[in-house]
Chains A and B, each alone.
Chain A
């Protein structure tokens, strides 16, 4: 049995569709894409055909988000990540790139961009990071200069997930450098816009099926109509987006941890030493018990956070940070322990478990490192203590 998280009938269907797809279409090819370091187009087409791409997109723009878009997204990301976190990122990073449009796009922008993303026809990406602006996003140097009814973008974004494979990019650039953090704006930039090209393709430790690239803007002319919200609202849009997207990273981490746990338990029950399955040793059984508890606790926190985000009352920053941080620390711990359960075999590429350890690491880094998450949580605690009310 599974813990009852009160999923709706529709959510159970999303879970089942994603689970079957993960088992039949992702698991068999995960090692191959990991080794080849190439984007899983074939698998993404399957995800699109399964209607899962729209689970977090409003119904009126072709999706099935209903009143629980983030929870739906988490359910799907978790299931796909159990089989391969790199492949699941094609879906999850599209979510990251799309959420700004859902939250701050005009009706016209939503009509133009969301239906193709909901159907899986197009992939999206989110671009804020630069060589000199990682944790400190306010340090971005890409500029967008107003010119008539368009903006001219210049600058280079780095480590953009779904870079090149995406058609629709949410890009952050400074429209007024003198205003510091209040001088950034967000734009929807389409692939193929003159002046927009792709730079270095990264060779990574994990999530190798994900395309991570530089985006290069050289006098790239973007219509002013593609700005999200008002000028200067860029960072607010980014923060709103992270509040909604971090539960997705948490779900990815839960999926990695759950996938690794599952393999570790099966292995411990079949591997025999001293004439019995290694699972029969309390010393190892307790390790697996701890892993299982952590996975379930991370899932519970992730789901509760996703639900709170979906409710849309107040700013869920603290909880989104908690879910992302706790679940990703859990994924790293559980995946490392799962390798331990496999012993020397776990260290071998021939076995599927070491990949989980390599994949887990990124969840502690992107969408804000876990130091930054703890910082957000501490700031919120302090603010609550000082003001005497919840953030």
Chain B
């Protein structure tokens, strides 16, 4: 069956380049390249693959500042059909609650059968936005999807990667999944994709386009308050035993015994 797929993507700083300000305890954002949240690249790839296999459309959506446009274009270059930028000053200061509520309203407006999110964002790291969207839209959800086994008329069979193992479940459609990186290997941008991304006219949604009460948006709609941002103290280095292997082993066993581990 043809699926209307909506993939939520977030623009994040490339964490391989991010440093913390040791004094202020905040991220140094200047000069850091922005990328599509890596987990969301897997979400986009899965959306594009499902569309290629079953027909339909793959639409990407992000809530963010105007600069997030580049992240959307990057998704077009790897096969997404349409891209929505949900952007408004009124959204500033949104926590995961307000973010997911706003995205839910935007996605309702776009229309969907399946919503795909990344497992988590590598900057915020809460893993709450995907499940939040599902709740706001009253949808079934399957988090940590590592494989979509089957897509039927009214449901899909999904393998979830959990700490204890793999769970296979059937999820009714419409629904929402969040994906882990085991699900696929994202493709590289193609030449035609890049050309289309360059010319593509982004679709934009503002607060006025969404059916939301003003008090539910941005900072006002965010119950979370950031008390303090700090870098956790680095872990104290462990103890290294040097010398002959069996002597080291004896020392190690002694220490473990002393601490009641063995």
Interface residues of A (CB under 8 A from B): 9-10, 13-14, 16-17, 20-21, 24-25, 46, 49-52, 55, 64
Contacts and interface: CB of A to CB of B under 8 A. Distances in A.
B189 interface: yes
B187 A17 contact: no
A115 to B, nearest CB: 15
For the side of the interface on B, what is the size category?
10 to 19
Nearest to A48: B190
B188 A13 contact: no
A9 B190 CA distance: 15
Nearest to A25: B188
Nearest to B193: A51
Contacts of A51: 190-193
Contacts of B189: 17, 20, 50
Interface in B165-191: 187-191
19 contacts: A9-B198, A10-B195, A13-B191, A13-B195, A13-B198, A17-B188, A17-B189, A17-B190, A20-B188, A20-B189, A24-B188, A25-B188, A46-B188, A49-B187, A49-B190, A50-B188, A50-B189, A50-B190, A51-B190
Contacts of A21: 188
B194 interface: yes
Contacts of A49: 187-188, 190
Secondary structure class of chain A's binding surface, majority of residues: helix
Contacts of B194: 13, 16-17
Contacts of B193: 51
B195 to A, nearest CB: 6
Contacts of B187: 49
A70 B176 CA distance: 48
A50 B191 contact: yes
A64 B196 CA distance: 14
Query: Closest 4 A-B residue pairs measured CB to CB?
Result: A51-B191, A13-B194, A51-B190, A51-B192
Contacts of A25: 188
Given A9-B198, A13-B198, A52 B191 contact: yes
A10 B193 CA distance: 12
Contacts of B188: 17, 20-21, 24-25, 46, 49-50
A49 B192 CA distance: 10
A51 B191 CA distance: 5
A49 B189 CA distance: 9
Nearest to B192: A51
